Every structure is written in C-alpha cells, then in structure tokens.
Amino acid sequence: MRLPARPHRHRESGAVLMVVMLILLGLMGLGMTALWLTSGNLQVGSNVNLRANALYVAEAGIERARELLNGTTPPNLPVLLAGSAHPADSVPTAIDLVTGTANGIGAVLIDRPDPALVPGAPLVNVPYPPASFARTPGTMDAPTATLMGTYTVWIRNDAAELRQGQFTIDGNSAVVVRSRGVAQDGRTSVVLEVSLGPSPAAANVPGAGGPPPPVLCNAGKNACDDNNSTQYGIVVQ
C-alpha cells in the first residue's frame, strides 16, 4: 500500500540558503573585527614609536644646549636670554599674577656661547640625527630611520629671577632650557624642560653647567613653576 505523498510546504523552501547566509555574515563579521583590531594595534604601535622618537629628539636638544652652555667658552647669558629677534622667540616680559608663571617660554637658543662675538645659527627645527651620524636606511628586514625628527631649543631665566623682574639679566648663572622634539609625522611632539645651574666647584664661574640649583622646586616640592617632577631635572609635557 502506497503512502500518500507528504504535502510540500512552500514556507520551508530556502531555509538552508538562509542558514548559509547567516553563517557567511557571521564569518564576515569576525573577519572585519579581526581586521579592525589588527589595524588598531598597528596604529597604537606607530603612535608609540613616533612619541619615542620625538622624546629622543627632544633629549638631543637638551644635550646640545648642555654642551653649549657648559663648554670651554663661558656663555654670554644676557645676550642669549635677550634673543635674536627670531620669529620663534618668546622672551618673557611679565609674570602672571594668578599663576606666577612667565608669559613667554624663552628666547631661541643660538648655537654659539657668545653670539655677540661669533654669530651663530638659531637652534630651530634642527634635524636629528645629523648627517655626521651617517645613518643608512637599513634593509627590508631591519629598516632604520635616517631622520627621527627635529628639535627646537629655547632658553629663559630661572623662575626666581623672573619674579624679580630680571627677564634678561642673569645674576645666579641658573637658566631653564626648553626643548621641543617633533617626530617625522610633523604632529607628534614632546617638550622637555630642564633647569641648569653652576656646579658647586665652579659657583663663581658664569655658565649653566652642572646640577640644578638647590631651589624648592628641584627638591621635590611645587614651590615654583620650573617643574613638577624632579627625575633628572626633566619634565615631560
């Protein structure tokens, strides 16, 4: 005896196709998520690398200023503090009565200890590392950046003398050097500030070499606005 044929239900047609499409959509979503996470990690790694390069470049500017101010030729601090009329000069002229900070970051540092005797070039957008390093691009497996970025260096009087109205007159051989390092992308930047003063062995010799002067802000207290951190006298902003 033949059984009657099972009636065909039109509403069940295409169910397998729908299941396959749902599986494909799920796999596509997982793939897009993995791609997004990978690209995000690459972007984070790139940002960290650029900031590290900017930090190294800013440190190079600090070391260049330290070498210049601590050289064999005593620096002419009044001339350096007054600036050279460079467009990037921001020589302080007043103190904010509310915050107690100067209204300028300083004069662009000239690459000579005494510009009045030997003119020098302003340390503005100086490439680092210099050509003398002879860095090569490296290989495909181990690439090397021939240029990490550029730095600009400013110099201003220390906070104690600024609050006495001595904006370009130095009496204690203590200054604040500010260095801004900019990575190759032109956007990532790091600013370092360090207080430089005479060493105890050469307290009467004009200059800005040696450890920072023993002021409260360099002793770990926020008594002045030179810095809020005293690790090596450097402030990262």
Domain edges within the chain: 16-236
Q: Looking at the predicted structure, is the pLDDT value of residue 209 above 80?
A: no
Segment 26-38, tens digit of pLDDT: 888 887 877 777 7
Dist CA 2 CA 63 (whole Å): 99
Q: Looking at the predicted structure, is the pLDDT value of residue 46 above 80?
A: no
For residue 225, give the nearest of 157, 147, 153, 170 by alpha carbon. 157
Q: Looking at the predicted structure, is the pLDDT value of residue 210 above 80?
A: no
For residue 163, give the nearest of 117, 219, 95, 91 by alpha carbon. 95
3-state percent breakdown (helix, strand, coil) of the chain, nearest 5: 35, 20, 50
- Matching residue, tokens 């204690």: 172
- pTM to 2 decimals? 0.66
227 CB-near residues (< 8 Å, 6+ apart): 193, 195, 217, 218, 233, 234, 235
pLDDT given for residue 226 in this prediction = 43
Quick one: average pLDDT of 32-52? Answer: 75
The mean pLDDT value of the chain amounts to: 76
At residue 34, the 3 state secondary structure works out as helix
Segment 67-113, tens digit of pLDDT: 888 888 888 889 999 888 899 999 998 888 888 788 889 999 998 88
Segment 50-69, tens digit of pLDDT: 888 899 999 999 999 998 88
Higher pLDDT, 199 or 24: 24
Dist CA 30 CA 38 (whole Å): 12
Least confident of 4-13, 36-45, 81-90: 4-13
